[in-house]
Amino acid sequence: MEATEIRKLAALEDKHWWYAERRSLLARQIKGMKPGKVLDVGAAGGGNTRVLRANGWEAVALEYTAEGAEVAGERGLQVLRGDATCLPFEDASLDMVVAFDVLEHIPHDGRAVSEVFRVLRPGGTFLVAVPADPKLWSAHDVAVSHVRRYTRPELVNLLDGAGFEIESVGSWNVLLRPIAAWRRKKSSGSDLDDLNPVVNQGLRMIVASERYLPVDKLPGVSLVLRARRP
């Protein structure tokens, strides 16, 4: 992806309902945790990295491409270039790793998960978000370079096989799943578009209502998993 396109994506990340509510999801996941050293894998525009920093974490953004690292650096983030399957950190050196919407881009996702296990300290936390359900595969996935979508058992088995203890796993973006499924049947590319502000706010309010509803066991558009290195 060219630097110009990465900057467009970073600008979209600042205001789009999906990214905004994903940041809120991360903030809820880390609430009450003692801050330490954290790696945000595939940081993109750095929205999640900024959430981590705002909550007292010593956060480093990891980007694979020079262009992505450049954009993150321009936003004042501490950033490293690196490959998720060969992380530039010593064994047992991090307290937490966040990989939101990253594993689905990696052909050898097992290697990436094993690397996260290696760099986490015993008791360290791994927070994962991935697109759910191969039945939702569409031109959107192709446009954003996904390799796969995950079922809940597949994601659990992936982390369990690397040695992690699973603490929780649930669905996210459940209420909008019927709309997403309908739209993606008709789509010819990514559906992460710049939206009318009223529509954008309305969609965010729908997804935000899931914070108060017992819907995380129902099928959603994404899966969110929390795991710990023993």
Cα 56 from Cα 60, distance rounded (Å): 12
CA dist 5 → 1, 21, 80, 181 (Å): 6, 22, 20, 26
Per residue in 12-66, pLDDT (tens digit) is 888 899 999 999 999 999 999 999 999 999 998 899 999 999 999 999 999 988 8
The rounded mean pLDDT for the chain is: 92
The pLDDT of residue 170: 97
Full-model pTM: 0.93
> Is residue 70 scored above 80 in pLDDT?
yes
The CATH number of domain 3-228 is 3.40.50.150: yes
- Domains in the chain: boundaries: 3-228
Cβ neighbors of 74 (< 8 A, separation 6 or more) are none
Which of 83-97, 127-141, 184-198 is the least confident region? 184-198
